[in-house]
Amino acid sequence: MVQQAPGVRIDGLTVVYKTPAGELPAVRGIDLTLEPGSITGIVGESGSGKSTLALSLLNAVQPPGRIAAGRVEIDGLGDVVGLAGEQLRKARGRHIGYVFQAAQNSLNPLKTVGKQLLDLGRSHGVEDLRGLVREAKDLLGRMGLDGARVLDSHQHELSGGMRQRVGIMLALVLNAHLVVLDEPTTALDMITQANILKIVREVHAERGLTTLVITHDIGVVAEVADRLAVMYGGRLVEQGPTREVLGAPRHPYTKGLIRAIPRLVGDIDEAQALPGRPPTLATVPKEGCVFRERCALRMDVCDTVDPQAVADGPRTVACHAVTVTVKEHA
Amino acid sequence: MTLIARRLAGHLARGVVMILVVATITFFIVNNIPGDPMAARYEKLIEGGMAPQAASQAVKVLYGFQPDGTLWQQYTEYLGGLFRLDLGVSVSRPGTPVLDVLTEAAKWTVLPVLLGTLLSFLVGIILGVFAAIKRTGKLGDALAISGSLLHGIPQYVLAMLLVVIFATLIPILPAEGTVDILYEPGFNAGYIGSMAEHAVLPVVTYALSAYGGWILAMKSSVVTVLGDDFILASELRGMKRSIVFRYITRNAILPLFTLLALSLGLLLGGAVFIEKIFNYPGLGWLLIGSVQDRDYALMSGAFLLITVATILANIVADLFYTVIDPRVRSGEEAS
């Protein structure tokens, strides 16, 4: 068993969903590496495939979806795409902690948090249940909650921010070192949001985790992530160190996203919405660049050839227009 | 516990008001039905050669009162009687209090209905879970179709079908009655065995006719819960299948308890067809008889009993939720 932060290598991952129009890819040909001990942020609009990607890390894509191709190699576990049954169940929770969106009700409404914690412990063959409870109280305490009280509460007695911390506790209490947070701050107020992000950063550092944060909020990524990956239409269009990508975005979609953020100072009109709307499963182009319909730099080649991710130092970008300039500079 | 006591007190108060309202309505409706059974008997006695004075006295002795008060007096007397559990005297069985007739009939209704309903509830919810989990497969289809089919067949058709099959084509069960007259009434094997034998077809009819509703309701409830976030969350936390299964079933069964309580309350009076077909002297059978005999006292007594049963069933269901659903519990604390 790995006790230190595991690395994750996602290789050529494609996830398809069965629809009346046949199997359509929600995530296509993703290559992404999570370095041990890093916090990676994945940004994208609704429907860009980011949650599907997150679920793939646990081999938990829900029907009618399925992983059609690719590997998800996790240190200490191997390729999770090949895991099934008990092996897969034990990996979930033990090795990989998954934190749900705050707005979702991730707890059984009929049982107290404490009883569900015990269910979790029994599911994973934890013998020292007292120790587990102590660990849980400890984690909750570090997140600023009264552990004993929270364990004695039902879901409906907890606020959104408290539920989210309970979710983080349940993801970590079995000592998982790979943690996936799916929209951890959506539907929380700004102060709670800042609090949760601070907790994520602290816990990440204290426990030596590898963390993946999925969000549609670039601000969240800027706050916590070392590396940033931008998804659009099921494709990874750009990735690199957070500062570099935010400071000097290369892909026209990333540029558009950043331009769309309103600033605290200055005119609200400076923020410019990206024209057009993101593609759905059915409208994602089958060939060529997925972003071309909304792209200002569209060229003929974009209609027919899917741009490949081209590496440039720690950064990669998948765009015909950008690749040309990068090559010209080289 | 004080919380439950407070809830119970509120329910009982509301229940008493509801019962009074229903009793009032029944009283005035029955009072307005044409025909006067006492006058009819009085005239019969006169025709038999009795003197008017004596006939009037005889009627008074038979029914325990003389119907010569004003409507208001009769009404207050009736309500006063209710508080003393006095429902009056049966018209068609002079001299027998309505309450006695009802309790005698109730024992033939309550046990079979309870048995049939609980049986169908149990089988229905268990199969409903499978129907939901296997809903994309053949087993799920088969279960759902069995539910729709049985749900669609009217009770009396089902009852007659069972009689034809098990009493006529393959005569292994008695078609009607409650017990063979061969046996000495009392606590002996022959009598009880015969009673059980006679109860089989009515109980099976109750069970089969209710089963469809249960399996369909449970299936849809389970499907709803399966789509809830916390089920996926539990799976992603690596919870054991057996534990997740428990989470699903417990959450899915909650809304069905209301239906169970309601159907238990309603079945007491709703067993009319089945009891008629099986010639089973329960409350439904009694109700039909009382209508045919113009036994107004018995009629209003039976209506009242059904009302009380339904109200009680509702109260029980509501209190039950207070015990099993933590959200209901704290919702009350907050208010």
- Specify whether domain A8-95+176-329 bears CATH 3.40.50.920: no
Q: Do A120 and B240 touch (CB under 8 A)?
A: no
* Residue A56 C-alpha, separation from nearest chain B C-alpha, in angstroms: 11
* Residue B314 C-alpha, separation from nearest chain A C-alpha, in angstroms: 22
Find, among A164, A140, A143, the residue nearest to A151 by Cα: A140
Please state, in angstroms and as integers, the Cα–Cα distance from residue B145 to each residue in A125, B120, B128, following that order. 41, 16, 12
Q: Hey, which residues 136-165 in chain A have their CB within 8 Å of chain B?
A: 154, 156-157
Evaluate whether A42 touches A16 at the Cβ level (below 8 Å).
Answer: no
pLDDT tens for each residue of A140-171: 998 889 999 999 999 999 998 899 899 999 99
The one-character DSSP state at A156 is: G
Evaluate whether A196 touches A15 at the Cβ level (below 8 Å).
Answer: no
Who's near B190: CB < 8 A, 6+ residues apart?
B182, B183, B184
> The domain containing residue B120 runs over which residues?
104-294
Who's near B292: CB < 8 A, 6+ residues apart?
none
Centroid of chain to Cα A321: 28
Q: Do A91 and B330 touch (CB under 8 A)?
A: no
Structure token digits, residue A237: 């269009």
Q: What is the pLDDT along chain B (335 residues), one digit of tens a residue?
A: 577 788 788 888 998 899 899 889 888 888 887 777 777 778 888 888 888 888 888 877 777 665 667 888 888 888 888 888 888 878 778 778 888 998 888 888 888 888 999 999 999 999 999 999 888 888 888 998 999 999 899 888 998 999 899 988 888 888 787 777 777 777 778 888 888 888 888 899 989 988 999 999 999 999 999 989 999 999 999 999 999 999 999 999 998 988 888 888 777 766 788 888 888 888 888 888 888 887 888 888 888 888 888 888 888 888 888 888 888 776 544 43
**Rounded CA gap, B231 and A107, in Å?**
8
CA of B242: which chain A residue's CA is closest? A123
Query: What torsion, rounded to 10 degrees, do the Cα atoms A168, A172, A178, A180 define?
Result: -20
**Rounded CA gap, B257 and B203, in Å?**
20
**Is A43 in the B-facing interface, judged by CB distances under 8 Å?**
no
Evaluate whether B198 touches B275 at the Cβ level (below 8 Å).
Answer: no
Taking contacts as CB-CB distances below 8 angstroms, the residues of chain A near B235 are 60, 89, 92
Q: What angle do CA A12, A15, A17 make, to 5 degrees?
A: 160
**Is A263 in the B-facing interface, judged by CB distances under 8 Å?**
no
Q: Do B236 and A93 touch (CB under 8 A)?
A: yes
Taking contacts as CB-CB distances below 8 angstroms, the residues of chain A near B233 are 98, 100, 104, 106-107, 167
Output the CA torsion sign for A27, A32, A38, A44.
Answer: negative
In this prediction, residue A241 carries a pLDDT of: 95
Query: What torsion, rounded to 10 degrees, do the Cα atoms A186, A191, A195, A200 define?
Result: 30
The one-character DSSP state at B293 is: T
* Residue B167: burial class (beta carbons within 10 Å; 0-12, 13-18, 19+): middle
Output the CA torsion sign for B124, B125, B127, B129.
Answer: positive
Say how many C-beta atoms besides its own lie within 10 A of residue B246's C-beta. Answer: 16
**Residue A312: CA atoms inside 13 Å, Cβ hemisphere, count?**
23
- Optimal mutation site among B134, B221, B236, interface A, most CBs of chain A within 10 A: B236
Q: Is position B90 within any domain? A: no
Give domain limits for chain A: 8-95+176-329
In this prediction, residue A2 carries a pLDDT of: 43
Q: Print burial letters for A34-68: b (CB count within 10 Å at least 16), e (below 16).
A: bebbbbbbbbbbebbbbbbbbbbbbbbbeeebebe
Evaluate whether B321 touches B328 at the Cβ level (below 8 Å).
Answer: yes
Q: Name the strand (E) or helix (H) holding B25.
A: helix B2-32
In this prediction, residue B334 carries a pLDDT of: 43
Q: Say which CATH number the domain at B136 has.
A: 1.10.3720.10
CA of B233: which chain A residue's CA is closest? A106
- Residue A66 pairs in a beta bridge with A16
CA of B230: which chain A residue's CA is closest? A106
- What count of CB pairs under 8 Å joins A to B? 77
Q: Do A108 and B237 touch (CB under 8 A)?
A: no
Find, among B199, B213, B218, the residue nearest to B266 by Cα: B213
- The average pLDDT across A314-326 equals 81
Q: Which among A90, A107, A171 has CB closest to B230?
A: A107
**Is A303 in the B-facing interface, judged by CB distances under 8 Å?**
no
- Optimal mutation site among A92, A119, A154, A178, interface B, most CBs of chain B within 10 A: A119
**Is A171 in the B-facing interface, judged by CB distances under 8 Å?**
yes
Q: Is position B82 within any domain? A: no
**Is A170 in the B-facing interface, judged by CB distances under 8 Å?**
yes
Who's near B245: CB < 8 A, 6+ residues apart?
none
**Which of A227-231, A291-295, B135-139, B292-296 is the least confident region?**
B292-296
- The alpha-helical segments, DSSP class H, found in chain A are 50-56, 85-94, 113-123, 129-142, 147-151, 160-172, 190-207, 218-224, 242-247, 252-259, 300-304, 320-329
In the block, residue with structure tokens 């009217």: B154
The one-character DSSP state at B97 is: B
**Which of A27-31, A153-157, A312-316, B4-8 is the least confident region?**
B4-8
pLDDT tens for each residue of A5-17: 899 999 999 999 9
Q: Print burial letters for A234-259: b (CB count within 10 Å at least 16), e (below 16).
A: bbbbbbbbbeebbeebbbbbbbbbbe
**Rounded CA gap, B50 and B274, in Å?**
43
**Rounded CA gap, B121 and B114, in Å?**
10
* Residue A326 C-alpha, separation from nearest chain B C-alpha, in angstroms: 42
Centroid of chain to Cα A209: 14
Question: How many independent structural domains does chain B possess?
Answer: 1
**Rounded CA gap, B64 and B98, in Å?**
12
Q: Do B238 and A93 touch (CB under 8 A)?
A: yes
Who's near B170: CB < 8 A, 6+ residues apart?
none
Interface residues on B facing A, Cβ-Cβ cutoff 8 A: 228-230, 232-241, 243, 247, 250-251, 254, 324-327, 330
* Residue B330 C-alpha, separation from nearest chain A C-alpha, in angstroms: 8
Structure token digits, residue B260: 């169970």
